Amino acid sequence: MTTAPATPSTDTLPDGTVDAVVIGGGAAGLNGALMLARSRRSVVVIDSGTPRNAPAGGVHGLLGLDGTPPAELYGRGREEVRGYGGLVVSGEVSAAEHAAPSADGDLRFTVTLADGRALTARRLLVATGLRDVLPGLPGLAEHWGHSVVHCPYCHGWEVRDQPIGVLATGPASVHHALLFRQLTDDLVYFAHGTELDDETRTRFAARGIRVVDTPVAEVVGDREGGIRGVLLADGRVAARRVLAVATTLVARTEGLAGLGLPMEDVPGGGRRFASGPAGATDVPGVWVAGNVTDPMAQVGASAAAGALAGAHINALLAVADTDAAVAALAPAGKTAPGTA
């Protein structure tokens, strides 16, 4: 019997202005918040509780934590952030916008939640992640994250040596097939209306990858909750236990339009936020980290990006704090110690 995961606890939204609000409670957001909280910054994480990898049984490729269930990993992360004084608030962001600067000219942002609550922050870290958009094929979505997978590094070992099918969605699926061929000797490539040139067919044949050109009509489930194959347009059922499909990767941008963050196309389809070093954006005071700007990043890379962004935010806040302290001396005719 499987026990449903407990609903994450939520902190009270603080009054006043905090140093940073982190939008998104996944690996990037929590690690960014951890760096800020350890630097004694007041930080609030707004967590919608819908991580991209929620259907997965475990996080893989993460040294020392390989196989940890996503809910357990994020639960630990939330408590670590809280252990240093950070807050984690459950909720959806409905709007994030620029606000009037402080009296000393420091930046301000207003973040509003779907239930109407709001708070003000000096800096923002956007770590909302992305959404995997699947092809509109009957039977595909209900097996997502289990018998239908996308990443050979995230799920490959768990499906090794099984009869695997690759459902082509575009040119990137060719490389997808080569990666999954490393994991099984029984691989079928369902072209599904995409073009496959003679050179690629030759390369596939050399690796023992069979090609089915007949379009796929439906994914067929079995009695145990997995899949038993795909129904082809001509009525045949091609037996498969696993189906790999490259999704369209689209950044989660809901509620963020007011920030005016620049976006760019993702190769192969989809959209992401554009960013520079340490996740800085062209919008002063706003950083991005994780899959929202790096769609191919696994959990470890997303966490590292969040940590780097958090450290960068703290560094620039330290400069702003010092600038404000120096400016505060001027009205009283004071000068900094050691200056003439």
Q: Please, which pLDDT band fits residue 267 given cuts at 50, 70 and 90?
A: confident
Q: What is the pTM of this model?
A: 0.91
What is the pLDDT at residue 205?
98
The sign of the CA dihedral 291, 297, 299, 305 is negative
Q: Is the pLDDT of residue 269 over 80?
A: no
Q: Please, which pLDDT band fits residue 182 given cuts at 50, 70 and 90?
A: very high
Beta bridge partners, 95, equal 112
DSSP type of residue 253: -
Average pLDDT over residues 116-138: 95
Q: Where are the domains of the chain?
A: 17-131+248-332, 135-245
Average pLDDT over residues 206-231: 96
What is the pLDDT at residue 309?
98
The model's pLDDT over 233-245, given as tens digits with 9 standing for 90+, comes to 999 999 999 999 9
DSSP string, 2-44: PPPPPPPP-PPPPSSEEEEEEE--SHHHHHHHHHHHHTT--EE
Average pLDDT over residues 259-280: 92
Q: Tokens 């993460």 correspond to what residue? A: 62
What is the pLDDT at residue 1?
34
Cite the DSSP H helix spans in 84-190.
Answer: 152-155, 172-181
- Look up residue 314 and give its amino acid: N
The model's pLDDT over 289-332, given as tens digits with 9 standing for 90+, comes to 999 999 999 999 999 999 999 999 999 999 999 999 999 897 65
The model's pLDDT over 55-73, given as tens digits with 9 standing for 90+, comes to 788 899 898 999 999 999 9
Fold of 17-131+248-332: FAD/NAD(P)-binding domain (3.50.50)
Q: Please, which pLDDT band fits residue 4 given cuts at 50, 70 and 90?
A: very low
Average pLDDT over residues 202-212: 98
Q: What is the mean pLDDT of the chain?
A: 93
Q: Tokens 């976006």 correspond to what residue? A: 263
CATH match for 135-245 among 3.50.50.60, 3.40.50.11540, 3.40.605.10, 2.70.98.10: 3.50.50.60
Q: Please, which pLDDT band fits residue 83 given cuts at 50, 70 and 90?
A: very high
- Please, what is the end-to-end C-alpha distance for the chain in angstroms? 75
Beta pairing, strands 118-126 & 227-232: unpaired
Measured CA to CA, the distance from residue 245 to residue 20 in angstroms comes to 37
User: Which distant-in-sequence residues (6+ apart) come within 8 Å of 110 by Cβ?
Assistant: 95, 96, 97, 98, 99, 118, 119, 120
What is the pLDDT at residue 340?
45
Average pLDDT over residues 38-61: 90
In this structure, are residues 302 and 74 in contact, taking their beta carbons and an 8 Å threshold?
no
Are both 17-131+248-332 and 135-245 of the same fold?
A: yes
Least confident of 14-18, 178-182, 327-331: 327-331
Count the Cβ atoms, other than its own, within 10 Å of residue 101.
12
> Between 113 and 9, where is the model more confident?
113
Tokens describing residue 148: 């239908």
Q: Is the pLDDT of residue 3 over 50?
A: no
What is the pLDDT at residue 22?
98
What is the pLDDT at residue 6?
56
Least confident of 109-118, 258-267, 329-338: 329-338
